[in-house]
Structure 1
Amino acid sequence: MKNILILTLLITSCYSIPTKAQENITAAEIIQKADEKVRGKTNTSVMEMEIIRPTWKRSVTMKSWGRGMDYSMTYITAPAKDKGQVFMKRVTEMWNWMPAIGRMIKIPA
């Protein structure tokens, strides 16, 4: 009985010890930190996008690389008609490389 009483007092005293309060952070900061944890400093991905319309269906396969929120590049790998097209983003600028014409085109923001 004495051991149970001591154990109960020990446990309740642990909960009553004040802990260091966490600094006040805003909701935007919480979301930004969560996004940084998920995204990391760099990322790579392989994606397939399927477009379904009432009369036709199409699939586009692409590889993508990114560095933070400011830099990204997407390379289309299939279908053959679109293969080789590259979309690039640098801060607020967007560019499109079209191998059929051998030119880089700036996409208006």
Structure 2
Amino acid sequence: MNDPTPPSAAEKVKKSVTFGQCLTGAAISSSLAIALYFLTTSIAQTFAQKPLPTGSAIAQNLSVAVRTLVVGAATLATGLFAVATVGLIALGIQTLWQQRKQTTP
């Protein structure tokens, strides 16, 4: 008969990670990081070329705050994907190291 109990989370996680999966994930993450880097520099250059509004101090403060938040969010996303890339490459190296240790008597 069929077992009605679903597999636990620990049983689902038992699948091992391969070097190819790490390399594929790192390639995707690095391409996103590079794209976000170019987007961040483009945003920063666009903001630098446009003058701040000089109508009132409140408008200037809001403009500076919005510019800072937009560039900061783009930079954060860029850094996140860059760190994920480094982590995936390190995980791939670790999996290769563990595979060589297991095959070596």
**TM-score, scaled to structure 1:** 0.22
Name which one, 1 or 2, has greater alpha-carbon Rg. Answer: 1
**Which structure features the higher share of strand residues?**
1
More helix by share: 2
Greater relative contact order (Cα < 8 A, sep 6+): 2
